[in-house]
């Protein structure tokens, strides 16, 4: 049995209807691109003013949580929004619906204020595929130029080591960045080894303990300050520098601790053994249960143990009183006014510093009953005249000569001509 659809010649009326449908698609797409330009303007302003800083690590992280973009798409929106801030011609072409977001996204990878005008012509003349190919070719020229600069840098490298008249060893040189970084690390290691071997360093002044312990941050904090950040008492680093009680409470959530008792004159009368605030077995269980930061919209796969009710206030070091928070959000809870509490059913509830609930899933945006007509009306109100021809490229089907296009467009290519 032949189930294929028979060939039916379209009637003139059918062709007209299809053309009208195609024009509607083109016009609405241009309206959407114009609206995208406005969206990018808002993202750029929100990003510059730090609107995402209410507990989120970046503007892209906030976009992921608030409007449901995946992280890659969110980072790309932020990148394009930032780039268009210094590329007004491309920004205007997108805002007028003349260039699609796909074209603008590609062009912003290579465009600068100096090359923007010629790349704008590329966007208007070709399809999105043409633009992508030209951008890839452009970046190849950039990489070649970068490799040539790296070669010139390599040829200029030098290292001179000699002994001066007074016996001092003099070192002079120019090293490539990666070689310089290795040298600096070697100098640091050598200085450390030399310090340990110096005969004039007494046992009293020589650092004690294992190498890892010498690089620990030590905070001295009174017990009553741990329980109440407003209570009088000390909260200082080992060198005497003051830190806030909230910072000390955050550090004490998941650290080693040594309890010291003092007499009325301040003399130490008892020193307890060093213990971990959260034992290793409990930490493994916490990591397994939370599987990363629990702050809404974060989900970093690693973090620090946070006491929901601080142990300085009598909170137990138990799984039910612990939550995993990344470093950024652990600070937000202790020092930036964010609050977290566990509900009777076990769920965590986060609140902003002003007490408003910070939901794990943001509320949906309000969508008008007739979104397409609303979008058209908004663009008309901004003085945009968009129709089916607004974003039509000036391409007539000819083959793209990529090599010629790059030679004509790229400043480095034209400078060699």
Q: Would you state the pLDDT for residue 323?
A: 92
Residue 372 belongs to a domain: no
pLDDT in tens, 214-253: 446 677 777 777 777 666 767 777 666 777 777 777 877 8
More confident residue, 32 or 407: 32
Which residue matches tokens 């010139």? 152
More confident residue, 292 or 179: 292
Residue 363 belongs to a domain: no
Q: Judge whether residue 300 has pLDDT over 70.
A: yes
More confident residue, 323 or 152: 323
Q: Would you state the pLDDT for residue 214?
A: 46
Residue 65 CA to residue 70 CA, distance in Å, equals 9
Q: Would you state the pLDDT for residue 12?
A: 82
Do residue 53 and residue 126 come from a single domain?
A: yes
Do residue 164 and residue 145 come from a single domain?
A: no
Q: Judge whether residue 201 has pLDDT over 70.
A: no
Q: Judge whether residue 3 has pLDDT over 60.
A: no
Do residue 222 and residue 348 come from a single domain?
A: yes
Q: Judge whether residue 205 has pLDDT over 50.
A: no
Residue 211 belongs to a domain: no
CA 362 from centre of chain: 20
pLDDT band at residue 149 using 50, 70 and 90 as cut-offs: low
Do residue 134 and residue 72 come from a single domain?
A: yes
Residue 368 belongs to a domain: no
Do residue 95 and residue 60 come from a single domain?
A: yes
Residue 213 belongs to a domain: no
Q: Judge whether residue 207 has pLDDT over 50.
A: no
pLDDT above 70: percentage of residues in the chain? 80
Cα dihedral sign, 178-183-188-192: positive
User: Per the structure, how many domains does the chain have?
Assistant: 3
Do residue 146 and residue 16 come from a single domain?
A: yes
Written as six digits, the tokens of 127 are: 């399809």
pLDDT in tens, 308-325: 988 778 888 889 999 999
Residue 367 belongs to a domain: no
State the residue range of the domain holding 222. 218-355
Mean pLDDT of 148-157: 70
Do residue 180 and residue 278 come from a single domain?
A: no
- Helix spans in 85-175 (H): 88-95, 101-107, 116-125, 128-155
Q: Judge whether residue 2 has pLDDT over 60.
A: no
Do residue 310 and residue 394 come from a single domain?
A: no
pLDDT band at residue 211 using 50, 70 and 90 as cut-offs: very low
Mean pLDDT of 259-284: 74
Residue 373 belongs to a domain: no
Q: Would you state the pLDDT for residue 250?
A: 80
Do residue 53 and residue 124 come from a single domain?
A: yes
pLDDT band at residue 206 using 50, 70 and 90 as cut-offs: very low
Please write down the long-range contacts of 220-225, taking CB distance under 8 Å and 24 or more positions apart: 221/245, 221/248, 221/252, 223/312
**Angle (CA) 26 27 29, round 5°:** 65
Q: Would you state the pLDDT for residue 386?
A: 86
Of 355, 377, 394, the last residue of a domain is 355
- Whether 303 contacts 324, CB under 8 Å: yes
Mean pLDDT of 293-311: 87
Do residue 245 and residue 350 come from a single domain?
A: yes
Q: Would you state the pLDDT for residue 57?
A: 82
Do residue 333 and residue 225 come from a single domain?
A: yes
pLDDT band at residue 336 using 50, 70 and 90 as cut-offs: confident
The SS3 of residue 324 is: strand
Residue 365 belongs to a domain: no
Mean pLDDT over all residues of the chain? 81
Do residue 324 and residue 239 come from a single domain?
A: yes
Mean pLDDT of 139-165: 75
For residues 380-400, one letter each, b for 16 or more C-beta atoms within 10 angstroms of the residue's C-beta and e for the rest, the string is eeeebebebebbebeeeeeeb
Q: Judge whether residue 384 has pLDDT over 90.
A: no
Q: Would you state the pLDDT for residue 255?
A: 72
């Amino acid at each position: 049995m032949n189930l294929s659809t028979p060939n039916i010649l379209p009637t003139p009326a059918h062709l007209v209807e299809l053309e009208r449908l195609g024009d509607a698609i083109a016009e609405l797409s241009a309206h959407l691109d114009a609206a995208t330009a406005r969206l990018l303007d808002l993202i750029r302003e929100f990003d510059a003013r730090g609107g995402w800083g209410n507990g989120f690590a970046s503007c892209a992280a906030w976009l992921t949580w608030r409007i449901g973009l995946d992280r890659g798409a969110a980072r790309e929106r932020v990148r394009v929004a930032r780039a268009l801030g210094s590329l007004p011609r491309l920004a205007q072409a997108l805002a007028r619906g003349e260039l699609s977001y796909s074209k603008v996204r590609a062009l912003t990878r290579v465009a600068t204020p100096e090359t923007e005008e010629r790349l704008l012509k590329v966007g208007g003349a070709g399809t999105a595929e043409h633009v992508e190919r030209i951008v890839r070719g452009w970046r190849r020229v950039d990489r070649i130029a970068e490799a040539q600069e790296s070669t010139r840098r390599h040829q200029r490298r030098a290292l001179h080591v000699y002994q001066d008249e007074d016996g001092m060893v003099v070192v002079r040189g120019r090293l490539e960045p990666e070689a310089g970084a290795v040298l600096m690390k070697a100098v640091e290691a050598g200085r450390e080894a030399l310090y340990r071997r110096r005969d004039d360093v007494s046992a009293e002044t020589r650092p004690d303990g294992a190498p890892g312990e010498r690089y620990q941050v030590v905070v001295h904090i009174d017990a009553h300050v741990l329980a109440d950040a407003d209570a009088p008492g000390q909260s200082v680093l080992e060198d005497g520098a003051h830190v806030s009680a909230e910072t000390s409470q955050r550090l004490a959530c998941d650290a080693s601790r040594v309890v010291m008792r003092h007499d009325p004159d301040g003399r130490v009368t008892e020193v307890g053994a060093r213990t971990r605030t959260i034992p290793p077995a409990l930490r493994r269980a916490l990591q397994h249960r939370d599987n990363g930061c629990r702050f809404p919209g974060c989900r970093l796969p690693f973090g620090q143990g946070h006491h929901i009710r601080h142990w300085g206030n009598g909170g137990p070091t138990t799984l039910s009183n612990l939550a995993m928070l990344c470093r950024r959000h652990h600070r937000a809870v202790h020092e930036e006014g964010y609050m977290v509490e566990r509900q009777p059913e076990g769920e965590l509830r986060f609140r902003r510093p002003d007490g408003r609930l910070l939901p794990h899933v943001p509320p949906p945006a309000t969508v008008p009953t007739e979104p397409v007509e609303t979008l058209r009306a908004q663009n008309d109100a901004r003085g945009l005249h968009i129709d089916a021809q607004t974003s039509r490229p000036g391409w007539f089907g000819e083959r793209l000569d990529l090599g010629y296009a790059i030679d004509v467009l790229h400043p480095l290519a034209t400078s060699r001509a």
